[in-house]
Amino acid sequence: MNTTPTKYIFVTGGVVSSLGKGIAAASIGRLLVARGLRVTIQKFDPYINVDPGTLSPFQHGEVFVTDDGAETDLDLGHYERFVGESLSVANSITTGRIYQEVIQKERRGEYLGATVQVIPHITDAIKTAIRRLAPNHDVVITEIGGTVGDIESLPFLEAIRQYRQEVGREHTLFIHLTLIPYIAAAGELKTKPTQHSVRELMEIGIQPDILICRSEHPIPPEMRRKIALFTNVDVASVIEARDVDSIYEVPLDYRRQRLDEQVCAKLGLQNTPKPDLASWEQLVERVKRPRNGTVRIAVVGKYVALVDSYKSVQESLYHGGIANDVKVQIDWLSSEDFENGQSAEKLSQYHGLLIPGGFGVRGVEGMLAAIGWARENGLPFFGICLGLQTAIIEFSRSVCGLEHAHSAEWERDTSDPVICLMDSQRQVTDLGGTQRLGAYTARLVPGSRSAQIYGGSEISERHRHRYEVNNAYRPQLQEAGMLISGTSPDGNLVEMIELPDHPWFVATQAHPELKSRPDQPHPLFASFVEAAMARRNGAEQTTIDLRAQAASEPAAEVNA
């Protein structure tokens, strides 16, 4: 057991945003976990929102929800998937949360009449958020959102500069992620942006210990030496970060460059064993060279113009592919297209349909058309949150004969509100942090497909929604052939539904994608992809049979 003090790694970014700091931090975490260390990762976001819960998915991608109900940045999903630890509200900090905390203390008089300032009060609150994660962890990795040079991130950078002074240089490590752009007209890679970015960081008082350089082309040794010379970093600590086929290959690429050895040497963790990455290498091999071909999945949603809006759904489908040793090809289809003249018959070219979560009425009728086609044509269907609610509405209209069935969220005066507001939500006026959030237990009907998939009768999944299935309509739904296969422990809330006479038709009110990991694919996604493979194989066999029949008919006529 490691008895050394907790070590701290700070990951910053320069030149441009969206370089992949989250993947870099998560990959470093994976390497350290593979060495037997206890690792946690947190994200500091410089925006003033208290959390991303009220942000549009087009602004900030998906909202990742933790077990304890925190609405967080999507990078926490990467952290959980790579490190294998369920994170909490303590792992996601925004400028808004920090200022809210400090102002509340000031209002309570906890500063004893002092003038409240960025230094020391804001920076002290930031350092407390870092220190809070130290117990029971050997390494705390902190990613600073934004780009060096942004005014919003300055308090966070000042706080981590101070933190090194407080806990000691031997216990802290600064890693800076930059871009080495390729100028096509000149046919050259350029190091100047990286030099300027590091210089700006040094002006704040932070000297990076390791540089991770994103590049579309190989960085030659002489360029690495030049970068090291002008940034005051060891040559061995200039790490190349090229694009790879799968994000899960990044830890292996870092390992090939001995990044983990650099980290351990600089933090005094040399006595840790070499990383055991055998199982990780196997899953990457399955991602890159699957043995069972390809399945095509249609994801029909509202925010498909920005795939990051469904990042966990995307990764979970890939995990389902890993579980079945098959490549999952995802086509992102706008549900509005099915409202504007595009026929749902288009789904015939896919092996599965997934309807993800979302808010608002836009595109809902298109989702209903897609679900109806999947239900009638035996296409494997997987509904998540809004996907369950739209499946209820479609079934109510098409099978139960409730032609005006709708959700009270979008049509308050509907005569058949098959989806309605939770009683606990009726008096809620604030939007942020007031939904049904976090992990809830559900009980599954023994013998149901859901129970078979999970391998048990009691489960726990994370939620993020306000509206529920209206219990007044449950008898009609069940009489028409729908199985309510999962409910809350008291039986009052519908958690899962399925159609027993359909090849694979399952929907959940929860967000199972939030708990799926590459080395532990979520059972619902694994089963859904397996059903898509069966659909593909059945279609292929039908094609073969038809071709064989067509080939034999002329011969039969001659013989006749």
Q: Do the strands 7-13 and 172-179 form a parallel or antiparallel pair, or are they unpaired? A: parallel
Phi-psi bin for 431: left (phi > 0), alpha (psi -120 to 50), beta? alpha
| Neighbouring C-beta atoms of residue 31, cutoff 10 Å | 24
Tokens of 129: 């958020």
Closest CA to 126 of 103, 93, 151, 91: 93
Q: Is 376 a catalytic residue?
A: no
Rg (CA), the chain: 26
Query: b/e for 481-493, b at 16 or more Cβ within 10 A?
Result: ebbbbbbeeeeeb
Q: What is the dihedral of CA 55, 56, 62, 67, to 10 degrees?
A: 40
Amino acid present at 487: T
| Pairs from 227-230 (Cβ < 8 Å, separation ≥ 24) | 227/191, 227/194, 227/195, 230/191, 230/195, 230/198
Q: Is 176 a catalytic residue?
A: no
Taking the C-alpha atoms of residue 256 and residue 469, their distance in angstroms, rounded to an integer, is 51
Torsions phi, psi for 382 (to 5 deg): -130, 115
The one catalytic residue in 264, 385, 400, 420 is 385
Q: Is 458 a catalytic residue?
A: no
Judge whether 473 and 420 are in contact, CB under 8 Å: no
The one catalytic residue in 468, 513, 522, 530 is 513
Tokens of 13: 């970014």
Tokens of 83: 């490190």
The one catalytic residue in 176, 463, 465, 511 is 511
The residues assigned a catalytic role are 385, 511, 513
